[in-house]
């Protein structure tokens, strides 16, 4: 049993062959999928996949790239959308200073708004952060000081120092196919030190196909390649890594295990 903790099943590249990519993944032993939202207008479609497929869950939230378009979203809308039984988390939200597609102040405001809703609902926040280690850590520390909330860093590519900081704050770390890339030496070293109970794996499909699928459209079945690679790094077999990361998923996303949500 293996769970893809982060995929975009309604994005181009997957949406056209959604049934096929889900079947491929199930055949590869992947039997849980967290379908991630990035903007308000896709929430209904993202949640609809989860309504249709028993092993798919959904998040609602605003990606930092989309922050400018959602400056006036308001927490009530997010709160209301998060009430759906198959919505088990929030996000992806956070800071992206690499592409800088939205005003940084708006990114930070929306990130804090998502954190507030995570604290209030107890739903974990799926955090996207790129080239923004310092501001992300500062906001997390400040907000944790106001009251704890569950969260994970998805597609972790930041520095080991940042990784240790967020682990200390109680966050979980999710590794994508990037960890399999030949030049990801620092990330591979850090992957060995993440505590077993705080680790997840994901594809972020349709992006970031892991080795040996690089250059292809990424799909959830490929989470197995990332799991095998990470298991090898950590000196455990893939079955053990699959069992651990699956247990971690349900321990973090507690709503996935609730009656009526599965
Ligand atoms: Zn992301
Ligand atoms: Zn994503």
The Å distance, Cα 219 to ligand 2 centre, comes to 12
The Å distance, Cα 154 to ligand 1 centre, comes to 6
Which pLDDT score, from 0 to 100, does residue 258 have? 59
Closest ligand (CA of 99)? 1
Global pTM reads: 0.97
The Å distance, Cα 218 to ligand 1 centre, comes to 14
Contacts of 262 (CB under 8 A, 6+ apart): 54, 256
Closest ligand (CA of 14)? 2
The Å distance, Cα 8 to ligand 2 centre, comes to 7
The CA distance from 256 to 262, in Å, is: 6
pLDDT, one tens digit for every residue, the chain (262 residues): 899 999 999 999 999 999 999 999 999 999 999 999 999 999 999 999 999 999 999 999 999 999 999 999 999 999 999 999 999 999 999 999 999 999 999 999 999 999 999 999 999 999 999 999 999 999 999 999 999 999 999 999 999 999 999 999 999 999 999 999 999 999 999 999 999 999 999 999 999 999 999 989 999 999 999 999 999 999 999 999 999 999 999 999 999 985 444 4
The Å distance, Cα 251 to ligand 2 centre, comes to 21
Which pLDDT score, from 0 to 100, does residue 257 have? 86
The Å distance, Cα 258 to ligand 1 centre, comes to 26
Residue 262 lies in a domain: no
Residue 33 lies in a domain: yes
Domain encompassing residue 131: 2-257
The CA distance from 118 to 86, in Å, is: 16
The CA distance from 70 to 52, in Å, is: 28
The Å distance, Cα 196 to ligand 2 centre, comes to 23
Residue 7 lies in a domain: yes
The Å distance, Cα 102 to ligand 1 centre, comes to 14
Supply angle C-alpha 31, 35, 63, rounded to 5. Answer: 150
Closest ligand (CA of 152)? 1
Comparing CA positions, the residue from 203, 237, 209, 206 lying closest to residue 223 is: 203
Phi, psi of 214 (to 5 degrees): -55, 140
Residue 112 lies in a domain: yes
Residue 231 lies in a domain: yes
Residue 53 lies in a domain: yes
Q: Which residue has the tokens 């804090």?
A: 112
Q: What is the 3-state secondary structure (H, E, C) of the chain?
A: CEEEEEECCCCCCCHHHHHHHHHHHHHCCEEEEEECCCCHHHHHHHHHHHHHCCCEEEEECCCHHHHHHHCCCCHHHHHHHCCCCCEEEEEEEEEECCCCCCCHHHHHHHHHHHHHHHHHHCCCEEEEEECCHHHHHHHHHHHHHHCCCCEEECCCCCCHHHHHHHHHCCCEEEECHHHHCCCCHHHHHHHHHCCHHHEEECCCECCCCCCCCCCCCCCHHHHHHHHHHHHHHHCCCHHHHHHHHHHHHHHHCHHHHCCCCC
CATH number of the domain that residue 16 is part of: 3.20.20.140
Residue 103 lies in a domain: yes
CA atoms lying within 13 Å on the CB side of residue 124: 29
The CA distance from 49 to 62, in Å, is: 18
For the CA atoms of 60, 65, 69, 74, what is the dihedral angle to 10 degrees?
40
Closest ligand (CA of 38)? 2
The Å distance, Cα 154 to ligand 2 centre, comes to 8
State how many domains the chain has.
Answer: 1
Supply angle C-alpha 254, 218, 65, rounded to 5. Answer: 70
Contacts of 116 (CB under 8 A, 6+ apart): 75, 143
The Å distance, Cα 153 to ligand 1 centre, comes to 9
The Å distance, Cα 53 to ligand 1 centre, comes to 23
The Å distance, Cα 70 to ligand 1 centre, comes to 17
């Amino acid at each position: 049993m293996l769970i893809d903790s982060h995929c975009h099943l309604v994005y181009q590249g997957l949406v056209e062959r959604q049934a096929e990519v889900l079947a491929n993944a199930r055949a590869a032993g992947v039997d849980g999928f967290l379908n991630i939202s990035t903007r308000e207008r896709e929430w209904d479609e993202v949640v609809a996949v989860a309504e249709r497929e028993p092993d798919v869950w959904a998040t609602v939230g605003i990606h930092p790239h989309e922050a400018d378009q959602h400056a006036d979203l308001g927490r009530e809308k997010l709160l209301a959308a998060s009430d759906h039984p198959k919505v088990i988390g929030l996000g992806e939200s956070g800071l992206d200073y690499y592409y800088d597609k939205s005003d940084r102040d708006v990114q930070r405001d929306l990130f804090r708004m998502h954190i507030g809703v995570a604290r209030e609902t107890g739903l974990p926040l799926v955090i996207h952060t790129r080239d923004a280690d310092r501001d992300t850590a500062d906001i997390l520390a400040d907000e944790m000081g106001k009251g704890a909330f569950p969260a994970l860093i998805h597609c972790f590519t930041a520095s080991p120092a940042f990784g240790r900081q967020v682990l200390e704050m109680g966050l979980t770390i999710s590794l994508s196919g990037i960890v399999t890339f030949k030049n990801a030496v620092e990330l591979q070293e850090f992957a060995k030190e993440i505590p077993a109970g705080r680790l997840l794996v994901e594809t972020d499909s349709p992006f970031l196909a892991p080795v040996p699928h690089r250059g292809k459209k990424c799909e959830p079945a490929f989470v197995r390649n990332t799991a095998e690679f990470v298991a090898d790094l950590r000196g455990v077999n893939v079955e053990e890594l699959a069992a651990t990361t699956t247990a971690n998923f349900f321990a973090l996303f507690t709503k996935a295990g609730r009656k009526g949500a599965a």
